[in-house]
Structure 1
Amino acid sequence: MADEKSREPLLRVEHLTKEFPVESGVFARRAGAKRVHAVEDISFDIYPGETFGLVGESGCGKSTTGRTIMRLNNPTSGRVIFDGKDVAKMKKRELKEMRRNMQYIFQDPYASLNPRMTIGEIVSEPLVIHNVMPNAKERMDYVRSLLDIVGLNPEHINRYPHEFSGGQRQRVGIARAFALRPKLIICDEPVSALDVSIQAQVLNLLSDLQKQFGTAYLFIAHDLSVVQHISDRVAVMYLGHLMEYSDWKSLYDEPYHPYSQSLLSAVPIPDPDVQHSRKRIILKGDPPSPIDPPTGCSFHTRCPIAKDVCSKDVPKLREVAPGHFCACHFAEPHPIKGSAVDLGTE
């Protein structure tokens, strides 16, 4: 990846916040419970051709971030600048053009494909919507080439999604996302619903396609061991906030945030002797409700090193080492002492 300072980012997210109203049910009846704080004041850049991993527990706001970037959700505040233009201010025609260059791979390969359409129709749908290749024969020839690129038999172009396995369906989704040769693809946990053996195949496919077409990825996942193999930089998210981000090797070798360190302690290591002797960091309690988030640092209610200031003041995301940012009052390498983890990242 080229020096980031020498070029402009393809995507710039600035102080993005997304809240959802709570209008009915038990949460709405709670005193003062009015909005779900899904994403809170997050900022990051993605450069052409790089993979930016976004990691965190289920419900922390990762998918909401991806959907808001693509304006499937409208942001509550903040800006999303894609290719020099503010996505929130785009009119219908501009938005359609933006989505030609920004595509989405969904988490569930069973729910993301229309069961009434053949895979040929599914993969060619973006071409039809954006009026690319109006000649039907030319379009189908191109779809066959896409199926071949993602490892599917082009002769199966007239089959339906139910005739394919989960891994094959996800390959159909990948072919659809690449049909328009976009500049950025948001990969929303694209391997979490697949068997472990199939996950590696899909990750390798995404890596190969990135090298071939120069596409940038926002890669959303809940598993740090998955993003390690595909990401240039990794950001850790908790309860709607960015806790830490840097290049993947710095984050894995020297996490500065206690939450990042605790996540890394759960990453399995293939060496049984190391795995048996390492110390696992178990966090107390459950994540707070995004309807009623804690004051101060959102992680302080579960943090092993929290002090009084953590419950009062929100820590700023600051540069703690070159290119390494962390939102913690007590940021330092391996802040939970006695729990340093060697993941063998050489």
Structure 2
Amino acid sequence: MAEKNQGASLLHVEHLTKEFPVEAGVFASRMNKKRVHAVEDVSFDIYPGETFGLVGESGCGKSTTGRTIMRLTNPTSGKVVFDGKDVAKMNKKELKEMRRNMQFIFQDPYASLNPRMTIGEIVSEPLQIHNVMPDAKERLEYVRSLLDIVGLNPEHINRYPHEFSGGQRQRVGIARAFALKPKLIICDEPVSALDVSIQAQVLNLLSDLQKEYGTAYLFIAHDLSVVQHISDRVAVMYLGHMMENSDWKTLYDEPYHPYTQALLSAVPVPDPDVQRSRKRIILKGDPPSPIEPPAGCPFHTRCPIAQDVCASGEMPELREVKPGHFCACHFAAPNPIKGASVEL
């Protein structure tokens, strides 16, 4: 994958934290409210035209990170700077302008489209909300061209979402996201609900559109094999924390965090001989509750190489272990779980 221009970042996320209150019951004490620690002290940058992959198990805070960045939910603390402006400090007018340049592709192509609107109305809705192309005829022709670009028949512009397959519906969602030609699109697991054969088509479409429009992606997924094919850089999350962050090739070839290494060991490879010879890293137990996360490193309760220092003190600092490669582990090293193979 081509290197991107590492000038000024398009999106700067700094110490982003998001907590949600938990109601234990009708008579719960207001003084003792517990909180879900969904996102904890997450920092990263996305540069124009690149794809930044965000991966991890379900419930690790990936989608909450994306929604907080777009201010679909307000951050508890931290800073999100998009195109030089602090998102948290934006008023309604500024927020509307920001969302013209930052769009969202949702995970579920069945739930994210209004069943009472035709696909033409769905794709043209952002243009009307932001008062782009007020001329109805011009807008209609533009929507037809968008449908053609994403691989749909422009003649089907007056059909409803239920008349399309899941893959076709996701193409409608992609056309809607690209209608305003945004600078950044947050892709929240855009292919996880699709068949494997359709996933490849949608990923190729996203890559082609990126080349044509120069759009940057925040690509959220739990499937490392999917992220590998589209991302320039990849960050791994666990229980709301960012554990490792690097360019995709370095991360896949030489992971420094035991959690990343364990995730990679679970990625299937097409060669059956190689697959049989690989050692799978099986993590013990389940992820801890985000309501009461463990002290120290949140991964230490399942980590094969954890020691006393991991359970005490603060979360390990996300430090640079190699140029451009960051890891939050006291024992960061190439493939730290010895005797395990993660060749892809």
Cα deviations across residues 252-289 of structure 1 (Å, max 9, x unaligned)?
00000000000000001111100011000000000001
1:225-240 to 2 correspondences below 5 Å: 225-240=225-240
Paired amino acid for 1:151? G
The residue number in structure 2 matching 1:319 is 320
Cα deviations across residues 180-224 of structure 1 (Å, max 9, x unaligned)?
000000000000000000000000000000000000000000000
The residue number in structure 2 matching 1:211 is 211
Decide whether aligned partners of structure 1 residues 33 and 254 sit closer, same or farther in structure 2, where only a CA change above 3 A counts: farther
Separation of aligned partners in 2, 1:56 and 1:25: 31
1:109-188 to 2 correspondences below 5 Å: 109-188=109-188
Decide whether aligned partners of structure 1 residues 201 and 25 sit closer, same or farther in structure 2, where only a CA change above 3 A counts: farther
The residue number in structure 2 matching 1:310 is 310
The residue number in structure 1 matching 2:40 is 40
The residue number in structure 1 matching 2:53 is 53
Separation of aligned partners in 2, 1:14 and 1:77: 9
Say which SS state the counterpart of residue 263 (structure 2) adopts.
Answer: helix
Separation of aligned partners in 1, 2:197 and 2:20: 37
1:11-26 to 2 correspondences below 5 Å: 11-25=11-25
Separation of aligned partners in 2, 1:340 and 1:171: 37
1:134 is displaced (CA, Å) by 0.4
Separation of aligned partners in 2, 1:3 and 1:164: 36
Say which SS state the counterpart of residue 36 (structure 1) adopts.
Answer: strand
The residue number in structure 1 matching 2:339 is 338
Say which SS state the counterpart of residue 229 (structure 2) adopts.
Answer: coil
8 Å CA contact 1:244–1:317 kept in 2: the answer is yes
Say which SS state the counterpart of residue 228 (structure 1) adopts.
Answer: helix
Paired amino acid for 1:279? K
Cα deviations across residues 128-172 of structure 1 (Å, max 9, x unaligned)?
000000011110100000000000000000000000000000000
1:32 is displaced (CA, Å) by 5.7
8 Å CA contact 1:33–1:292 kept in 2: the answer is no
Say which SS state the counterpart of residue 197 (structure 1) adopts.
Answer: helix
Tell me the number of residue pairs that the alignment of Structure 1 and Structure 2 aligns: 340
Say which SS state the counterpart of residue 237 (structure 2) adopts.
Answer: strand
1:62 partnered with 2:62: yes
The residue number in structure 2 matching 1:82 is 82
Separation of aligned partners in 1, 2:4 and 2:218: 19
Paired amino acid for 2:322? A
Separation of aligned partners in 2, 1:3 and 1:262: 29
1:74 is displaced (CA, Å) by 0.3
1:182-261 to 2 correspondences below 5 Å: 182-261=182-261
8 Å CA contact 2:21–2:33 kept in 1: the answer is no
Separation of aligned partners in 2, 1:161 and 1:145: 18
The residue number in structure 1 matching 2:287 is 287
Separation of aligned partners in 2, 1:125 and 1:97: 15
8 Å CA contact 2:186–2:217 kept in 1: the answer is yes
Paired amino acid for 1:341? V
Separation of aligned partners in 2, 1:147 and 1:252: 35
Separation of aligned partners in 2, 1:201 and 1:3: 23
1:341 is displaced (CA, Å) by 1.4
8 Å CA contact 1:16–1:42 kept in 2: the answer is yes
Decide whether aligned partners of structure 1 residues 4 and 15 sit closer, same or farther in structure 2, where only a CA change above 3 A counts: farther
1:340 is displaced (CA, Å) by 2.6
Structure 1 moving runs of 4+ over 6 Å: none
Cα deviations across residues 286-342 of structure 1 (Å, max 9, x unaligned)?
000100000000000000000000001320000001110000000000000000311
1:117 is displaced (CA, Å) by 0.2
Cα deviations across residues 111-135 of structure 1 (Å, max 9, x unaligned)?
0000000000000000000000001
The residue number in structure 1 matching 2:273 is 273
1:25 is displaced (CA, Å) by 4.4
Separation of aligned partners in 1, 2:90 and 2:204: 35
1:24 is displaced (CA, Å) by 3.8
Paired amino acid for 2:55? V
Q: Name the Cα RMSD after superposition.
A: 1.3
Say which SS state the counterpart of residue 198 (structure 2) adopts.
Answer: helix
1:23 is displaced (CA, Å) by 1.8
- TM-score scaled by length of structure 1: 0.96
